[in-house]
Every structure is written in structure tokens, then in C-alpha cells.
A = this chain, B = another copy of it.
């Protein structure tokens, strides 16, 4: 459909930054391009916005086709409109943050029913390093198009919002049964640094439990060794 773009016409795409937290690390899903521009290079999953759909709708469709996953969190990130950002023609892209709990992706990866590869994000927002499952190390400039810049913007945005919004909870496997330890792991992965346990708990409890947004359940978490954790749930979504 869009293999060759018409001249004298402007196109809009959406690009998705699919994020998850696995084993204490922030992970990003990328796909390897098959077709002509930047063939073989890694890129954010994207798609052209159709005439009969909003950008949000496009992202939803793209997600549903690629990942049989419900309950993904979506947020518009930024619109990139440099004239030469796409060698195929005039393409403006609106980037979206997508957050998916790791347990929705785990089995898909094991069964190889997923058209993406997983990369661990490390480094500061400007000097990002992406480490693939096979050991490949990528940096922003290695990616197709301006996707390196998009990813930098996205990580910064996420780090800036996690303290005073509820996005952090979107990484949890089960928002109706999670421990504060799990939540802290998410925060540490996103922020890329260790947090004090006691202070973290007090802050979260003050901000969410005392306001009724988060309540203690009667269930207990039981992982491997160590004291079982109390499980909380998020209310009203």
C-alpha cells in the first residue's frame, strides 16, 4: 500500500514505544526492518494513519495485530515532523508510549509468537544503550529514522511522570494484587537507580493508600524465600 509514497502528498504515521519491566530492568520492543529504507536496522513498530481513523485508533489496531494483548496503556508522546526524517517521502510521525506488563508478553516470547525483539534500556536519557537478548548493543544512532531521538524523549517523559502520576502501576502484572516491593522494582527500573525501601513505602502509602486509591487486600504474596508480602490493589480505573 505504502511501498512507494506519492510525491506532493503528506503522510502521517504512528510509532510505538512498547515498554515493559522484566527482572528489574526497563525493556523496549523493537522490530527489524525488512523493507528498503533502513533495511536490516532496528526500528520502533509503526504504521500509517488511515483516512478513517484517529492516531489513537491506529495505535490500537497496530497493537492488536502485533500483540494479542488487552489492557495496554497508551499515551501520546510527541510529534516529529522534520522534513527529511523519512527518505521515502514526507512523513510526519506521532509517537506513543505503550506500557504492557511483562507477564502478558512472557508466554508470547516463549512461543515465538511475537514479531519483536526485546532490548534492555540502560544509560541516561541522552546516552541510551539498548542491549538485545542476543547480546547486541545498540545506541540511539544505530536505529532507523529518528527513532533514537524518539526513544530518548520517551524515556525522559516516563521518568518525569512516574513520581507524580499513576503510570508506574501500569507495569504491574496484576494491578489488583501487587506488593510494594514489585512496585519499587518498577520505579527503580524506570529511574535507573536504587531507592530507599522505607521512604518509598511511606511516599506511596501517603499518596495512594491514604487517599483511597490503593487498598490492602487480604491475600498474601509468596515468592521464593523471604517473608510473604502484603498485596495491595488499585481502585477505580
Contact = CB atoms under 8 A, between A and B. Distances in A.
Interface in A35-83: 49, 51-56, 76, 78-79, 81-83
A8 interface: yes
B52 A81 contact: no
A12 B92 contact: yes
Contact of A54 (B9, B12, B76, B81): B81
A54 B90 CA distance: 10
Given A54-B81, A94-B79, A12 B9 contact: no
A190 to B, nearest CB: 19
Contacts of A49: 10, 81, 92
B8 A51 contact: yes
A9 B5 CA distance: 12
A109 interface: no
Listed from nearest, the 8 A-B pairs whose CB atoms lie closest are: A55-B81, A54-B81, A79-B79, A79-B94, A51-B90, A54-B82, A54-B83, A12-B92
Contacts of A51: 8-10, 90
A11 interface: yes
28 contacts: A8-B51, A9-B9, A9-B51, A10-B10, A10-B11, A10-B12, A10-B49, A10-B51, A12-B12, A12-B81, A12-B92, A49-B81, A49-B92, A51-B90, A52-B83, A53-B83, A54-B81, A54-B82, A54-B83, A55-B79, A55-B81, A55-B92, A56-B81, A76-B78, A76-B79, A79-B79, A79-B94, A81-B94
A82 B236 CA distance: 27
A88 to B, nearest CB: 13
Nearest to A84: B54
Contacts of A56: 81
A53 B82 CA distance: 7
A55 B79 CA distance: 9
Scoring A8, A10, A55, A82 by chain B CB atoms within 10 A of each residue's CB, the highest score goes to: A10
A14 to B, nearest CB: 9
Nearest to A95: B79
Nearest to A53: B83
Interface string A1-28: 0000000111110000000000000000
Interface string A119-153: 00000000000000000000000000000000000
